[in-house]
Homo-oligomer: A and B are copies of this chain.
Amino acid sequence: MTPFPELADKADLERGQTLAPRFDATGLIAAIAIDADRGEVLMLAWMNADALALTIETGQAHYYSRSRQALWKKGETSGQVQTVVEIRVDCDQDAVLLKVRPQGDGGACHVGFRSCFYRVVEDGRLVERPIP
């Protein structure tokens, strides 16, 4: 897979036009997926360079599973394929933001909610309150 370049200069990294994602020591970068139409945060997952390159090339979200230690096309088994509408990076290029349209049943979470963030911390306890 095509490797991404590395940028040492802070100004280039922050204001330049070169996509130079900064993967961590384990070769991963955090990726947030939000619903392109509703705006809600669906999930946070991880990408290695291959997953990011494949996401850009195919227009479908690919991640890297830390538990399975494997590249993973979202929805391959669940049908919850994510069509990518837009890809953003943050100021220091160590995080990715995907705007996606979830296919299949429209969800992103294996537990059955649209978003993985279905629980709120209240008085130190978790309460299930899916994002409307």
Contacts and interface: CB of A to CB of B under 8 A. Distances in A.
B111 A14 contact: yes
A71 interface: no
Contacts of A56: 121, 124
Contacts of A111: 14-15, 91
A61 interface: no
Contacts of A125: 17-19
Interface band, chain A: 35 or more
Contacts of A127: 17
Interface string A107-131: 0011101001111110011111000
Interface in A13-28: 14-19
